[in-house]
A = this chain, B = another copy of it.
Amino acid sequence: MINFADRVLAATREKQSCVVVGLDPRPDWLPAEFGLSAGKQTADEQVADAIVEFNRRLIRAVAPAAAAVKPQVAFYEQFGWQGVRAYAETIALAHKAGLIVIGDVKRSDIGTTAEAYASAHLGKLDADAITVNPYLGSDGIKPFTDFCKLGKGLFVLVKTSNPSSAELQDWPRPPEAGFGGQAGHTEGGQAGEGQTLYRRVAELVETWGEAHRGECGYSAVGAVVGATFPKVATELRQAMPHTIFLLPGYGAQGADAEACRACFDKDGFGALVSSSRGVNFAYRSEPYKSRFGEAKWEAAVQAAAIDMREALEKVRAGSSS
């Protein structure tokens, strides 16, 4: 069984890409050919079928440029159990296309309940890795890390990309001194008095991952770190030397390739960068809207994925100098 971190490294090398494409279906935004125009009443089954077909073509378009895909399960759950069927079929399609699948499920629970979630998402639904929320502590992580022995991976939320992430994740740092984590952070220090919660979580993530390191030196237990807070990312890169970062917030949320630089190691490895609507709905926004438009939506999506890869490959190459 190949360790998940080693699988990520192999995919990054083979594809020359650290790109993760979100698969977050929004029926109202689908090209007209899928017949789900805004406001139209459609049965869950038809919506689910349309989502699967859209994802099938989306996966084909981005597979050459992406190392992984990241379906966000909320966008499937909103169509009930038919939506979850579409989620399961999407994972199978991505696997057929040779892509690593990160289920963005942010689950959190303890004991046998966490075991049930792990069995659901890393077993039955067969994602290669999932995102999890650390609020319940080690009891809530252990049942998931048990799956790392089976080649599966985790990404634990450490510092998220949203504006209000500082409210709890920077605790007890006073908001005025460091809202958004852009000021007042401690570089590379040890945990202690006044240490932020995200830093405490970072230490736990390194501990949780210790028994699950691959040949590459990284662990199958990764971390979600918002690319929107580059200074915090620098601090966390030092605090978690064996942890692969999953960086959301690229594109639509405002982070560019340069903002990701601090998250790569000297070999340009150690981070995956995720974009959702910036890629999977590229035909709805410039520059792709003018260049391709809705009729050529697959070409638009492919161009966006390739552009993202190229921008990030320059940064990754720069990291190794």
Contacts and interface: CB of A to CB of B under 8 A. Distances in A.
Contacts of A77: 84, 116-117, 120-121, 124-125
A113 B249 CA distance: 13
Contacts of A123: 78
25 contacts: A74-B107, A74-B113, A74-B114, A74-B116, A75-B116, A77-B120, A78-B123, A80-B124, A81-B88, A108-B108, A133-B135, A134-B135, A134-B168, A135-B157, A135-B168, A135-B169, A136-B162, A136-B168, A137-B162, A139-B163, A168-B204, A172-B172, A172-B194, A172-B195, A197-B197
A78 B119 contact: yes
Nearest to A77: B120
A80 B103 CA distance: 14
A203 to B, nearest CB: 10
A137 B164 contact: yes
Q: 9 shortest A-B CB distances, which residue pairs?
A: A137-B164, A137-B167, A77-B120, A74-B116, A81-B84, A81-B85, A139-B164, A78-B120, A138-B164
Number of copies: 2
A222 interface: no
Nearest to A160: B136
A109 B74 CA distance: 9
Given A110-B162, A166-B137, A81 B81 contact: yes
Contacts of A88: 80-81
Given A123-B78, A124-B80, A162 B111 contact: yes
Contacts of A204: 167-168
A21 interface: no
Contacts of A169: 135, 137
A74 B120 contact: yes
A292 interface: no
A170 to B, nearest CB: 9
Interface string A87-113: 110000000000000000011111111
B135 A162 contact: no
A22 to B, nearest CB: 10
Contacts of A84: 77, 80-81, 84
A56 to B, nearest CB: 18
